[in-house]
Amino acid sequence: MTSWLANYGVVAIFLLMLVDAVFPAASELVMIYAGALAGGAFVGSQVILFGHPVDSHFWAYIAVVLAGTLGYLVGSLIGWGIGFWGGRPLLERHGGWFHLSPANFAKAEAWFERRGDLAVFLGRVTPVVRSFISIPAGVFRSPLGRYTLLTLVGSAIWCFLFAGIGWGVGSSYRRVHEDFRFVDYAVVVAVCLLAAWVVYRYILKRRAHDSAR
C-alpha cells in the first residue's frame, strides 16, 4: 500500500479512501503515510499530483488531505446509493459482500436510532464504525444533502488529523516503521500457529468421527 501511495500519489490516496468508505481499507494508515510523504519523510519521494511532484511541503499536505477527503466523500455517496436503491433485501442477500453481517447491520441501525443525524458525522470520525455507515445511511433514507455535508466535514477532520500525525512523525516515520517490523513478524507467526492448530483440531475430529463409524 505504501509503495502504491509513493508511486501514484494523490490518485492512490483518493482511490484507497474511496474504498474505505464502504470497505475497511486502513484509512488511518493511508493518511498517516500520506502526511509523512507530504512532510518529506522519505528521501527521493514526493507527493505526485497529476504526474507532477509537489515541491512545497505545505501544498503537498493540502493536496493529500483534499484527495483523502474527496475520495472518502465519493465512496460514501456510492455506498449511500447502494443502500438507497438496494435496501434491506440487498443486505439480507449479500450483506457479507460489504462486511455487513446481520449483527453489524443491527449495530448500525442502533447507531442511527440513538444519534439521529449526528450518526453520520460521529460515524465518520469513529474508527472501524466509519466504514459501516455509508450503506446503512442509504437504507435508512438519510437525507442526501445533510448526509453529504456531515460526511464532508467528518472526513475532512479525519484526514487533516491523521495526515497531521504523519506530518508530525516526519523523518522519524521510517525508523518507527522499521521498529514495528517485529510486530509484523509476530503477527505472521501467530497466524501460522493458529492455522496449524485449526488443521490439527480438524484432523483429530476427523479421526474421531471415522473411528466412531
Give me the residue spans of the domains in the chain: 2-174, 182-212
DSSP tag of 48: E
For residue 184, name the pLDDT band (cuts at 50, 70, 90). Answer: low
Q: Are 155 and 42 in contact (CB under 8 A)?
A: no
> Is the per-residue pLDDT at 187 higher than 60?
no
- Res 178: pLDDT: 57
- Res 47: pLDDT: 77
Q: Which residues contact 129 (CB under 8 A, 6 or more apart)?
A: 111, 122, 123
- Residues making up the chain, counted from first to last: 213
| Residue whose cell numbers read 458525522 | 121
Q: Mean of the per-residue pLDDT values for the chain?
A: 76
- 164 versus 208: which is more confidently predicted? 164
Least confident of 55-59, 76-80, 193-197: 193-197
Q: Which residues contact 100 (CB under 8 A, 6 or more apart)?
A: 91, 108, 132, 135, 136
Beta strands in 37-127 (DSSP E): 48-49, 52-53
> Is the per-residue pLDDT at 73 higher than 90?
yes
Q: What do you get for the CA distance between the two ends of the chain, in Å?
A: 50
> Is the per-residue pLDDT at 118 higher than 60?
yes
For residue 119, name the pLDDT band (cuts at 50, 70, 90). Answer: confident
Q: How far is CA 40 from the centre of its chain?
A: 24
Least confident of 54-63, 89-98, 146-155, 198-207: 89-98
- Res 5: pLDDT: 72
For residue 98, name the pLDDT band (cuts at 50, 70, 90). Answer: low
Task: Tell me what percent of the residues of the chain surpass a pLDDT of 70.
Answer: 66
Q: Which amino acid type is present at position 73?
A: L
- Res 94: pLDDT: 61
- Res 20: pLDDT: 83
Q: What is the mean pLDDT of residues 139-144?
A: 82
pTM (predicted TM-score):
0.69
- Res 70: pLDDT: 94
Burial 74-103 (b: 16+ CB within 10 A, else e): ebbbbbbebbbebeeebbeeebeebebeee
Angstrom distance (rounded) from CA 25 to CA 154: 17
